[in-house]
Every structure is written in structure tokens, then in C-alpha cells.
Amino acid sequence: MKKYPAVFLDRDGTLIEEVGYLDRLDRLKLFPDSARAVRLINMSGMKAVVATNQSGIARGYFTEAVVEMLHVHLQKLLLAQGAQIDRFYYCPHHPTEGLGLYRKVCPCRKPEPGMLRQAAEEMNLDLSRSYLIGDMPTDIEAASRAGIKSVLVRGGCLPGHTPDLPHEEWEGRAWPDRIAASLLDAVRWIIQDLEP
């Protein structure tokens, strides 16, 4: 069976605006070039996969049903512009804060690569030809641990969390293969890099 390359996309600060614990539809805002970037992934034959930490679930700020509702809405916004996410993955856990079974160390919370590996298994993905785009050190570290290339996008973070290098949050972590000004720039570089 043919294996597909994928572009894994962080959600908050990469695909949509970072608002801090997104819990309502009216707070979900696509970046201006997000649909165009996802459309380019779709047209390239690569799979577009969202992989996002959602510890707000563990902290009791919102439920898994809210996250799933937000993903349905996000997909509708993208579809209206001719783009689509092939699958959404999220980690609801947190290692030190949270409620009940959600409070635990797990292999799916970035920087661990569990979501990427799960997607590879379920979607028949070729991780050796895949990429991850994110705005935080944990995204880049997850890509490194999964053995895939990564692109850091600037400007999606909350104030005080700019991903400029070097930065104390990067200490001891993997570095990106590329730094891009936007999601669209990142996708353009990936498509060029993937070509033989």
C-alpha cells in the first residue's frame, strides 16, 4: 500500500490565531494565508494533519466535545476556501495539572511524538518524507523525535513567547530545519524541499 507524506500542522499560533485556551467559536480566527497554505498541501498530494496539545481539557477549561466542535468549525472555514484538513489529532492531557485521568504523562503531548506516530499508523503516512510546521519549541522537538523535518513559523505566539532564536525555551531542544515568516512561506518551502 502506498504511503503518503504529510504536513503536520500545529493549530494555535500556526494555523489559527493564538488566543490562549480557545474555548468558543467566536474566538477562532484563521490567519489570512492559512486556507491558501492548506490548499497548497492538498494540491501537492501530501496529507494535511493537525496535531495540537489541548491541556485546557485537563485543566477543566473546556471539554473534548468543545475541541471537536471547534475542529468541525475550522474545517468548515477551510472548506469554504477550497482547503481541507485530512485529520485532526489532539492531546487532552497535562503531566502536572488537571482532572482525573487527564492528569498524566503521556506519549501524545508534544514534545513527545505520539500524535505523529499515531497518525502515521492510522493514515499510512511516510514519516521519512513528512514535515511539521509549528510556532513553539515543543513542536520542533516533537518533529525531531519522530524523525521528520520541521519549520518554525514566527509571529503566531502570544506576547512574550516569540520564537526568535536563540531563546531560553530552546535550550537543549532540537532546532528547526527552516524558519519561515508565515504558514504559507513554510508550505512553499516544504513543497520545494520534497521535490526530487
How far apart CA 134 and CA 12 sit, in angstroms, is 9
How far apart CA 27 and CA 29 sit, in angstroms, is 6
Q: Which three cell numbers stand for residue 149?
A: 523535518
Instruction: Label each residue of 159-193 as H, E or C.
Output: CCCCCCCCCHHHCCCCCCCEEECCHHHHHHHHHHH
Question: Long-range CB contacts (< 8 A, 24+ apart) of 11-16?
Answer: 11/50, 11/52, 11/74, 11/90, 12/52, 12/156, 13/134, 13/135, 13/136, 13/153, 13/156, 13/157, 13/158, 14/133, 14/134, 14/135, 14/139, 14/153, 14/156, 14/183, 15/50, 15/74, 15/183, 16/74
Cis peptide before 107 (omega within 30 of 0): no
Q: Which three cell numbers stand for residue 39?
A: 490548499
Catalytic residue numbers, as ranges:
10, 12
